[in-house]
Amino acid sequence: MMLTLEKVGLAIGSGPDTRTLLEDISLQVGPGESLGLVGESGSGKSMTLRSILRTLPDGSTSSGTVRYRDKDITTLSREELRRFRAAEVSMISQNPLAALNPVLRVERFLIEGIQAAKPRTSAAEARKTALALLADVGIHDPERCLRSYPHQLSGGMLQRVVIAGSVARGSSLLLADEPTTALDVTTQSDVVAILNEARTDAGMAMIFVTHDLDLAAAACQRIAVMQKGRIVEAGPAQSVLGSPQHEYTQMLVASKPSLTRRASAPVPSEDGK
Ligand SMILES: Nc1ncnc2c1ncn2[C@@H]1O[C@H](COP(=O)(O)OP(=O)(O)OP(=O)(O)O)[C@@H](O)[C@H]1O
């Protein structure tokens, strides 16, 4: 298994003011696999990702184990943790600008990633690889994209560049936190398709956080449903969403806006009748 969480817990504060943020979180993701974490706002999805990266809030206490390959991440030294974050994990968030340096062209971002993974690659070779990676993520004019600064690209293009960057760095673990929330629906499905392709081609393990059940089903083979810091139901995406067992999952599925229902809903007349 690439990543295994066993009974991960997280609490903040002390004494009677202690608040439990995560409780008994156990999950596994293998190479090339994708796991969706779904649940309402505040259910602990982002905190689960932060437990993996060990970027926990000040004053919090964690428990349980986070195993990456054969190492327990919770016991790594500061230097080992820095290396784990830089070389093994890529984080894709709602805001791709956060991952990119605003004063550097896309070219520098990708070439640095490629050379970090394979230090002996020449600049010319790295440039060629960067162009190929941009083409792989569906960028039509890779030359132009390489020369661009982040602010010159659309949200969908930026998210593609960040995905190309994680492939360039040879990351084996992809943590995606609402990566498509800021995109329009068509670009959303393009980005999900590109993520899926990058994951299977490069054998990356992916955790995909979203509150959108349809998106989770499109991006993930398995789904874990979180409520109040716990996983209440987990299993193959089709069975969790098709025949949910836990009443919280049933409620989420029932309240999901259905595209067919939306499309066929009667349009209210102007006077509201
Ligand atoms: N720095 C912090 N200190 C204390 N509590 C926090 C901190 N950040 C988040 N929390 C609390 O931790 C709980 C879990 O939050 P988390 O961000 O993981 O939820 P989420 O499921 O990712 O929600 P969202 O979809 O809104 O991002 C929430 O109750 C939140 O209020």
Residue 227 CA to ligand 1 center (angstroms) comes to: 12
Statement: residue 65 has pLDDT above 80: yes
Model confidence over 223-271: pLDDT tens digits?
Answer: 999 999 999 999 999 999 999 999 999 999 998 776 544 444 444 444 4
Query: What percent of the chain is modeled with pLDDT above 70?
Result: 94
Q: Is the CB of 228 under 6 A from ligand 1?
A: no
50 or 185, which is more confident?
A: 50
Task: Output the six-digit token pair for 132.
Answer: 């190929």
Model confidence over 119-154: pLDDT tens digits?
Answer: 999 999 999 999 999 998 999 999 999 999 999 999
Q: Is the CB of 46 under 6 A from ligand 1?
A: yes
For the chain, the average pLDDT equals: 91
Q: Distance between CA atoms of 32 and 102, rounded to whole angstroms? A: 31
Residue 171 CA to ligand 1 center (angstroms) comes to: 26
Residue 47 CA to ligand 1 center (angstroms) comes to: 6
Q: Specify the pTM.
A: 0.90
CA distances from 213 to 34, 38, 60, 140, 164 (A): 14, 7, 30, 30, 25
Task: Output the six-digit token pair for 147.
Answer: 């020369």
Q: Is the CB of 47 under 6 A from ligand 1?
A: yes
Q: Is the CB of 211 under 6 A from ligand 1?
A: yes
Model confidence over 17-34: pLDDT tens digits?
Answer: 999 999 999 999 999 999
Q: Is the CB of 13 under 6 A from ligand 1?
A: no
Mutate to test the pocket of ligand 1, among 23, 43, 49, 227 (most ligand atoms within 8 A of CB): 43
Task: Output the six-digit token pair for 89.
Answer: 């994990």
ipTM of the complex: 0.95
Residue 44 CA to ligand 1 center (angstroms) comes to: 6
Residue 135 CA to ligand 1 center (angstroms) comes to: 37
Residue 45 CA to ligand 1 center (angstroms) comes to: 8
Model confidence over 196-231: pLDDT tens digits?
Answer: 998 999 999 999 999 899 899 999 999 999 999 999
